[in-house]
Amino acid sequence: MKFVDILGEMYLNEELSEDYKKVAHKVKIMYKTLRKGGFTIGKLIPDMVPFWTGFEMIEDGDALITYELPTKYHLTAGNQAISYELIITGITINCEKYLGLADDIDVREDILRRLTRKFNNALKGTFDEGEQVKIQIRKKHNVPSAYENMIDESVDDEQEKQRIINKSKLVYKSFRKGKVKVKVPPIFNNGEQVVVVANYELPKKFRIRLDFNHIFNRPVVFFIPIEDVKIEYDFKAKNDAVQIELLESFRHKIKMRFVNFDSNCDMIFTKYKEAFKNTETHVVKEENENEHETLVKKAPTVFKALKKGKVTMEVDAIRLFYRGATDPQKYTFNYDLGNVYIIETDPFENNYNVKVLIPTIKINCEENPDLNNNQRIKMDILDLIKKKFNNFGLNIILRATKFHLKHNGTWVKL
């Protein structure tokens, strides 16, 4: 990943002080490091007491909230009298356990305050006494025209584009049918909280819009007509307003299953035909063979889709080997499973009877390269990757004894 400055003529002008350039450079590094991350609810909200948001009661302080900042930001100049301002146009928040927190304004402000403290702590050695950075969100039409910075994450390689498209289609096929559940709070159910479970089915025919040029959007977007989505559940809402809200919550849960699994895809449920402009139509092909044969045929496609990717995880003090470290550090790793694999099957095994065997796993952490050869971290990352394969009914196992390492450093099957 590289940074591309687009500060315009004002940045190149010598009128901008060396102090500003020094701060801007360090903010740029910090922004790249902190653009994605997360906090537990208990750490974000000390002395937390259970509270409602949307249809959910927030009770578990250990649940993780993740966030993502835009790739573009503005940094206005400051001094001892006026703070530097880091201006962004939004923040994406997600909590797998409590999806309603994604739209909670108080949680958003808590995250921004935590990030502000991190920025200012990192800049103590750069700032003079009294100087600081403030983070604020503004609407796109209300951001300064200068002082603009951007992370370039556009996709150029055609093979990488096709890999992203194929993976997203595979995710749609795998998650087209399933179950989701929503907690209905007491206020909407005569004073009694209830969990409603729904079976859903998305249509076989779906539309995709592709956009690899705008770095702020996910490149693959599924457009699903609301009337083609089947949602069945056993619950009688007390009025039409609650019924509409419940259906909207179910659709949101379905969407989050997709976007949480595949960071390159998004899903939009719509009733407007205008939304389908510039989209491609695709159809899910039904398989007639038995489930075991289907998994064997699907395994190579799944492996190609998941063999490279990114995972974010907390690394504790034991794995970091830092004396005095207390809190786990969150890092993002690129991983590569290589190109050599073996598909092993056992039709009589109860769980994941189709396995993908690999000889090794490579990881790369730009934030801390010292972690790249840590075997315990590699195993933790493989466990996270294994969950992705499990979603497709497959398992992945590291088994070097099935392969041979040649003198040139490449692996081959025995």
pLDDT tens profile 104-151: 888 888 888 888 888 877 777 667 776 788 888 877 667 666 566 665
Q: Considering the entire predicted model, what is its pTM?
A: 0.45
The pairing of strands 51-53 and 92-94 is: unpaired
Alpha-carbon span 105 to 103, nearest angstrom:
6
* H helices present in 64-157, as ranges: 105-122
pLDDT value, residue 335 = 92
pLDDT value, residue 321 = 52
pLDDT value, residue 13 = 41
pLDDT value, residue 296 = 79
pLDDT value, residue 184 = 84
pLDDT value, residue 134 = 84
DSSP letters, 256-294, are HHHHHH-TTEEEEEE--GGGGTT-EEEEPPPP-S-HHHH
Alpha-carbon span 237 to 331, nearest angstrom:
44
User: Which has the closest alpha carbon to 197: 250, 238, 258?
Assistant: 250
Laid out side by side, the sheet with 205-210 consists of 265-270, 220-225, 205-210, 280-283
CA neighbours closer than 13 Å in the CB half-sphere of residue 159: 2
**Angle (nearest 5°) at CA 368 between 364 and 371:** 60
Place of tokens 């709070």: 185
Let me know how many helices (H) and strands (E) the chain has, helices first: 9, 25
Q: Which residues of the chain have pLDDT under 50?
A: 1-15, 153-154, 215-216, 288-289, 322-325
The pairing of strands 395-398 and 354-358 is: parallel
User: Which has the closest alpha carbon to 132: 145, 116, 144, 113?
Assistant: 116
